[in-house]
A and B are shown apart, each in its own frame.
Chain A
Amino acid sequence: MAIESNWCRCTSCHAGYGWKDKTFDFSSEENVDCLVCHDTTGTYEKVLTGCGHPAYESTISEGKTYDPVDLGNIARNVGKTSRATCGACHFFGGGAAGVKHGDLDTSLLAPSKDLDVHMDMQGLNYSCTSCHVTFSHYITGRHYSEPAPKNRRMALPKDDGNRLSCESCHGPSPHRSDDKLNHHTDIVACQSCHIPAFARVNPTVMSWDWSVAGRFDEKGRPFKKKEPPDIGPNYLTRKGELVWAKNVTPTYRWYNGSFHFMRMGERIGDERPVVLSGPNGGPGEPDSRIHPFKIHQGVQPYDPVTMTIGIPKIFGPKGSGAYWSDFNWKASLAAGMMSAGVTFSGEVDFIKTETYWSINHMIPPKEKAVGCASCHARDGLMAEIAGVYIPGRDRSRTLDTAGWTFVALSAGAVSVHGLLRILSRGREKGE
């Protein structure tokens, strides 16, 4: 829920050697871990709780034994980054495979064409940096306050641009020239149609309820409950209840490429669930398009007096207030919020939250793209999207009622007229 006060656990990925407290020097080049990106041996591994360090000597952490890494061998074999080196962190966000991202997990280490048409091992076999082009260690990345692919322009290798967006290579009119689909690209992101579902091979966490954490088995020990077998643990004493899902249909929102975030100590507004991070943008804005998201639902501690999201101390020794050692939310928030410098009233309650994860990866072949009628329907995928007229979804009920009434009246009138003609003819004959 926060890196603050939980450094040594979180900083095994949130990068830097020895980021163990507030005094960490982000400007020092000596704190940069070269090997986590440039190892080609596959043997470089950070200790999960090692404050960003690998095991220099045999180490046991959270029940796992880490043999010392052979830094000499790794240093002699440095090379280009790979799906494995990027994935070492990005596939495991949130503490385990598939917790955070719905579209980045270990299935992308050796993907099939069906999973990702670009990374297909038997085909194009792209690595992450085929699109996330790097310039002098500046990695074209994503959505914080600034949209990463700010200009929607071509950026083929000859253009010397960053190749981050689909349009960088495919251009703004990627379909057959007379295809109506090209008329969608200013409003609908490519991803919306071309990623019909995420987490198609491995499951991802869709909701995480911290409020039920802290239950113990009959012998008073923390426990884990797994069910069903191919979908990860769904109850853990330390974490609460996590619901995993596979083949999830995304949620669609207007998005201009940037996100808004709730910051530490920021007062919670009236919106429920509380959106901790969500997309910016809206209909009619030239840079906004309809984009797919995974919405991660959360139930997490907050301070009902100051109305701020709790910043818990999760990781630490017994007596430090760390939830995973002391299992006391009040102590956990007191320690975490003190560290963060955010006022804590002493009261703890739980509140529903939402975190948006933009879906960009795992693009299947075009035949698997979402069909027209999935959105052009009364209750289709675009049901929640406001600010745009979608044929097949939208209509004027008044106009439809009036129209069909006129049709019915005219049909009724000619029927009566016709009937009267038949009757009158019969009468003439009868006379």
Chain B
Amino acid sequence: MAEKILLYTRFERFWHCTQAILIVLLGITGFEIHGSFHFIGFERAVHLHDDAAWILAGLVVFAIFWHFTTGEWRQYLPARDMIRETVRFYLVGIFRGEPHPFPKSRARKLNPLQRFTYLFLKLILFPLQFVTGFLYLFSNDWPNLGITADLESVALLHTAGAFAFIVFFVVHVYLTTTGKTPLAHIKAILTGWEEADRPPA
């Protein structure tokens, strides 16, 4: 029987779960505002989108604080090794029933591809959405703030970021099913505990 390890602490679980809900909400309301579909109505979509954005901003502030005080931010530093093996696993090994080449542990809980992807999210995609989103929200104050931009460029960048989030969401959710059992990763992010593979001998 494989060893069970506590992979995600209580704050991480709370943070991830809340963030997931908010991002899904932002996606739905955002694309309603964009005019892609009609679901709850433009006005309610705008209000929900703005509220969700503020809550997410608050959550992100807490998350950044947590990452720096706990040192967990190092989890996202790009990996130097195991990149090739991890890519090979998802392209080949996974179909042959091979075990995941990357041994998850409390100290190194993200595989090289996760590290790269989440770093991209944290350094590129989140800042892009927050900067363009808040510019959008405060477009009327640009002259007072000395900002010269045009709403169309800001809106289109924000939309582009949103598409990137959907692509991430699709792949991210799919990859949750690639654990030992299809729901193993989901259980882990909800309960914190995951059955860890032993490092290969």
Contact = CB atoms under 8 A, between A and B. Distances in A.
Interface residues of B, number: 33
A372 B46 contact: yes
Interface in B143-187: 150-152, 155-156, 159-160, 162-163, 166-167, 170-171, 174-175, 177-178
Given A372-B43, A394-B152, A428-B97, A418 B34 contact: no
B33 interface: yes
A392 B170 contact: no
A428 B98 CA distance: 12
A180 B50 contact: yes
A82 B67 CA distance: 71
A331 B140 CA distance: 58
B17 interface: no
B35 interface: yes
A407 B174 contact: no
B68 interface: no
B84 interface: no
Contacts of A392: 33-35, 42
Contacts of B166: 403, 407
Nearest to A398: B156
A391 B34 contact: yes
Nearest to B150: A389
B41 interface: yes
Given A378-B35, A424-B95, A418 B174 contact: yes
B96 interface: yes
Contacts of A393: 35
Contact of B46 (A180, A388, A424): A180
A420 B177 CA distance: 13
Contacts of B90: 417
Contacts of A267: none
B177 A395 contact: no
A182 B174 CA distance: 43
Contact of B155 (A389, A404, A411, A420): A389
B151 A420 contact: no
A414 B139 CA distance: 38
B25 to A, nearest CB: 17
A88 B50 CA distance: 50
A407 B140 contact: no
A413 B171 CA distance: 9
B87 interface: no
B152 A371 contact: no
Main secondary structure of the interface of A (DSSP, over half): helix
A1 B167 CA distance: 62
B160 A403 contact: yes
A21 interface: no
B20 interface: no
Chain B, interface SS category: helix
Interface in A413-430: 413-414, 417-418, 420-421, 424-425, 428
Contacts of B50: 180
A183 B139 CA distance: 8
A376 interface: yes
B94 interface: yes
Interface in A98-148: none
Interface residues of A, number: 36
Given A373-B43, A393-B35, A407-B170, A418 B155 contact: no
A399 B159 contact: yes
A399 B156 contact: yes
A180 to B, nearest CB: 6
Contact of A414 (B43, B159, B174): B174
A391 B34 CA distance: 6
Contact of A418 (B42, B96, B159, B177): B177
A402 B166 CA distance: 13
Nearest to A183: B140
A406 B34 CA distance: 18
B170 A371 contact: no
A396 interface: yes
B43 A395 contact: no
Contacts of B175: 414
Contacts of A186: 140
B152 A407 contact: no
Contact of A424 (B96, B163, B177): B96
A376 B150 contact: no
A343 interface: no
Nearest to A415: B174
B150 A425 contact: no
A151 to B, nearest CB: 18
Contacts of A395: 34-35, 156, 159
B33 A391 contact: yes
A57 to B, nearest CB: 63
Nearest to B46: A180
A96 B25 CA distance: 56
Interface of A: 180, 182-183, 186, 371-373, 376-378, 388-389, 391-396, 399-400, 402-404, 406-407, 410-411, 413-414, 417-418, 420-421, 424-425, 428
12 contacts: A377-B35, A377-B42, A392-B34, A395-B156, A399-B156, A399-B163, A403-B160, A407-B167, A410-B167, A410-B171, A414-B174, A421-B95
Given A371-B42, A372-B46, A376-B35, 11 more contacts: A373-B41, A388-B151, A391-B34, A395-B34, A395-B35, A403-B163, A410-B170, A411-B170, A421-B95, A424-B95, A425-B97
Closest 6 CB pairs of A and B: A403-B163, A414-B174, A424-B95, A389-B152, A373-B42, A372-B43
